[in-house]
Amino acid sequence: MKFHGTTILAVRHKGKVVVAGDGQVTLNHIIIKHTAKKVRRIYNDKIIVGFAGATADAMNLSERLEKKLERYNGNLTRSAVELARDWRTDKYLRRLEAIMIAVDEKNMFVISGNGDVIEPDGGVMGIGSGGASAQAAATALIEHADMNAADIVREAMKIAGSLCVFTNDAVTIEEL
């Protein structure tokens, strides 16, 4: 799946996990909103999710993940697998056009409608149009700079925004 219009970045570094998303919403090649919130906390503020794709679809998936978390007592791994299974096999859900990152204190997953639940190597993951740029920048900053996770995310999102026309500098950041 390829989605343009969003950059979501998750970084686990020095005992913290931080997720950020830009605020730009586009309709074709027109910017229609600058301050959307694409990153939010769910399940008693213990899980952070960030999404790329169609907003209504992403919100639907976020709500479904939260229901899975309630059912499985906050177990993000089990909830992510069950959501991905439903997403892939349910006729209605298969049409949803979104991808999400979900993190808790121990886990980080990318969840997609293809049935993917991917845990990254190295504690850095980016999705959306600027995701690869943000991920590359964050990886370099972890290796070559003495920064905390929040500062790495801020700088990496700034770099992604300078490269991706679908990413702006109105960044929402959540930290666990």
> pLDDT of 127-168, one tens digit each?
999 999 999 999 999 999 899 999 999 999 999 999 999 899
pLDDT score for 2: 47
Contact status, residue 9 vs residue 31, Cβ threshold 8 Å: no
Q: For the chain, which domains are there?
A: 7-175 (3.60.20.10)
Of 6, 7, 167, 172, the active-site residue reads: 6
According to the model, what pLDDT value does residue 148 have? 97
What is the model's pTM? 0.93
Q: What is the pLDDT of residue 115?
A: 81
HEC profile of the chain = CCCCCCEEEEEEECCEEEEEECCCEEECCEEEECCCCCEEEECCCCEEEEEEECHHHHHHHHHHHHHHHHHCCCCHHHHHHHHHHHHHHCCCHHHCCEEEEEECCCCEEEEECCCCEECCHHHEEEEECCHHHHHHHHHHHHHHCCCCHHHHHHHHHHHHHHHCCCCCCCCEEEEC
For residue 98, what pLDDT is reported? 83
* Spans of the chain, pLDDT less than 70: 1-4
Q: Is 6 a residue of the active site?
A: yes
Percentage above 70 pLDDT, the chain: 97
Please give the pLDDT value at position 4: 55
